[in-house]
């Protein structure tokens, strides 16, 4: 299957670097501090697929010693520019050899698996990430719900892509981010809940809890679908 990582692009990296937590993105991160504090006790973390470092800096702010890793050189370059004191590392070819196994308290993956095609590849990565956890460590996987690709949102639009409604697990879907200057469509891979559960099982991970955050009317954003439909899914996992 041919799939292009649109984030491996200097123009995209520049636009994404200015993005923090507006609108729909706010819901993705709103509950993470509470979720993480409930399940994670240590402070050693990896932000897998860190992009320009938004999630890494988020982890730093809530007290973690976090390493950001990504395969996109332009994204890592921008992360280092924004946060010169941070630890951001480029990994290539799925080589995680620089990371000691069995040592991390938390591995956060925010939207990364939206851009990884094929079950085999997802399973391999989750298995490797699981091996990096210590015995009490947790993986928190934040991904897009399939619903995000067929509705309108405060921060996204899919009305130009009616073909999204006909997709199945592993198909490509398109979505436009409305909170950045770069309005080229982002191409993701749709992966329903039942398929994520099978992925975790094959990767020898235990699903601990699932969260589907909904917006509240009293929050300072102009919600569109967010109060009725969850745009994101947050999975918490441990080693089996």
Q: Give the chain's domain count.
A: 1
Is residue 55 situated within a structural domain?
Answer: yes
Q: Determine, yes or no, domain membership for 58.
A: yes
What does the DSSP assignment read for 213-234?
----TTSSS--SSTTTS-SEEE
* pTM of the predicted model as reported, rounded to 2 decimal places: 0.92
Q: Is 195 exposed, middle or buried (0-12, 13-18, 19+ CB in 10 A)?
A: middle
Which residues lie below 8 Å from residue 143, measured CB to CB, with a gap of 6+?
Answer: 111, 113, 114, 191, 196, 232, 233, 235
What distance in Å separates the CA atoms of residue 222 and residue 174, rounded to the nearest whole number? 23
pLDDT (tens digit, 0 to 9) for every residue of the chain, 240 residues total? Answer: 333 444 456 665 555 555 567 899 999 999 999 999 999 999 999 999 999 999 999 999 999 999 999 998 988 999 999 999 999 999 987 789 999 999 999 999 999 999 999 999 999 999 999 999 999 999 999 999 999 999 999 999 999 999 999 999 999 999 999 988 778 899 999 999 999 999 999 999 999 999 999 999 999 999 999 999 999 999 999 999
Strand-pair partners of 65: 44
Does residue 175 lie within any of the structural domains? Answer: no
Residue 172 lies in a domain: no
CA distances 34 to 38, 86, 175, Å, are 6, 24, 29
Task: Tell me the residue range of the domain where 201 lies.
Answer: 10-144+193-239
CATH number, domain at 83?
3.40.50.150
Percentages of the chain per state (helix, strand, coil), in multiples of 5:
35, 25, 40
Q: Which of 131, 142, 75, 133 is nearest to 109 (CA)?
A: 142
């Amino acid at each position: 299957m041919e799939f292009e990582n649109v984030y491996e692009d200097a123009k995209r990296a520049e636009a994404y670097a200015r993005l923090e937590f507006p609108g729909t993105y706010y819901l993705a991160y709103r509950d993470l501090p509470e979720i993480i504090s409930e399940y994670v006790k240590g402070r050693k973390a990896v932000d897998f697929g860190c992009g320009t470092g938004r999630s890494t800096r988020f982890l730093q702010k809530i007290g973690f010693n976090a390493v950001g890793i990504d395969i996109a050189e332009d994204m890592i370059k921008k992360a280092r520019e924004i946060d010169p004191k941070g630890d951001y590392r480029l990994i290539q070819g799925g080589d995680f050899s620089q990371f000691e196994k069995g040592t991390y308290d938390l591995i956060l993956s925010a939207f990364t698996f939206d851009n990884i095609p094929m079950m085999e590849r997802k399973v391999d990565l989750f298995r490797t990430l699981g091996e990096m956890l210590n015995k009490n460590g947790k993986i928190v996987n934040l991904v897009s719900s399939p619903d995000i690709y067929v509705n309108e949102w405060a921060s996204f639009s899919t009305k130009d892509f009616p073909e999204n409604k006909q997709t199945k697990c592993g198909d490509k879907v398109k979505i436009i981010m409305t909170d950045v200057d770069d309005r080229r469509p982002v191409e993701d891979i749709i992966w329903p809940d039942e398929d994520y559960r099978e992925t975790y099982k094959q990767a020898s991970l235990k699903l601990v809890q699932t969260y589907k955050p909904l917006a509240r009317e009293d929050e300072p954003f102009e919600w569109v679908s967010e109060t009725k439909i969850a745009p994101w899914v947050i999975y918490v996992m441990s080693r089996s």
